[in-house]
Amino acid sequence: MNPELYPLGLRIAGRLVVVVGGGPVAARRARSLVLAGAHVRVVAPEVCEDLAALIAPLPDGAAHHDGPGTAGTVVREARSYRPGDLEGAWLVHTATGSPEVDADVAAEAEALRVFCVSAGDAEAGTAWVPAVARVTVADDTPSAAPATSTEVVVAVNAGRDPRRAQRVRDAIDALLATGELPLRPVRPGAGGRGSVALVGGGPGDPGLVTARGRRLLAQAEVVVTDRLGPRALLDELADDVVVVDVGKTPGFHPVPQEEINALLVEHALAGRRVVRLKGGDPYVFGRGGEELIACEEHGIPVEVVPGVTSAVSVPAAVGIPVTHRGWSRGFTVLTGHEDIGKVPAASDHTVVLLMGVSRLRDSAAALVASGRSPETPVAVVEDGYGPRQRSTVGTLATIADVATAAGVRAPAVTVIGDVVRVSPAWRAAGLG
């Protein structure tokens, strides 16, 4: 750490900043200053194409020194630097490529008590430009007001090693973008309308949650979670985040769906950012549509973040593709509680059953009765991506007995079709 460095953010909107030099470095500096709302005056006999594109045209006969200029614009003195060019400036950047000129600019800035960034020699300046990571934290659902947006800015200085600073910045930027760093505002705001995000958590592995989902979790004040969601992510939440567990098990629903809907509405109407963390995808047997309607009926903005559905990901975890060239051209996903006898009986159509362990025998019999061969391969995959992940294989004629003998239990995904033959478990069982 440089003990002489005092990190500071500058509010320069509407203030004059002088950039001496016309090359790519000067162009980058000018662009950032314009974004910050500064009035930028460039002093350079020649400018590069990127900088030229930023410079505002002047009316005939106008002189750049006639006034402070307009905030967020760039004007130019088409000549070399000369004493007096820094008059009225709040900040100076010099990047001429000439050590002598940069030293003269830094000396004048020092005399005027104006901070100066010297691109050619950092030690010659009195200010440094850090590598910066930015992320906007907002109620950025489709209906949310942009006025509630705030920005988190992380500046990295690494002495006289800008590339190291950039690498650290990039690493922080990635963590901010994915929500792995805390982004939730902790200073009380002015209240107002909250929001709800229906986040698909995937099959349970925290690494399979989308970056958008993790970022919304990092901003949440309330998380309403399922039993099959990626619960390890809850350990990353701040202590003051309210976590409401509404998990269901087969045949046991301690919190009815109507109460879940009411919870989302209650917290959002209180002005809180709510994440409904669901297993799989919110719209694949996740009742996300019902939650969306309940919130919209109360004027609450809702964002839906898709998740990796267990119907596809859990079979993949044990080496089973739900479609495979020459074996399966399509697949049907059911809950296992429906009349599956209506599913196409074609041998090139895969059937995926979710939440179907308790009715596995009935489901197998219904598929055989509707025309499937009793020798059709079947795999039951328990606890996909979890600590007790296991694949149990058989045929429609045998799977119920095999699963009972193996003690198969929920949660599990059942795959029915020739694609099961691809899996290592099928080959290991020697079923042909």
- Catalytic residues, by residue number, are 226, 248
The verdict on whether omega for the bond into residue 411 sits within 30 degrees of 0, i.e. cis, is yes
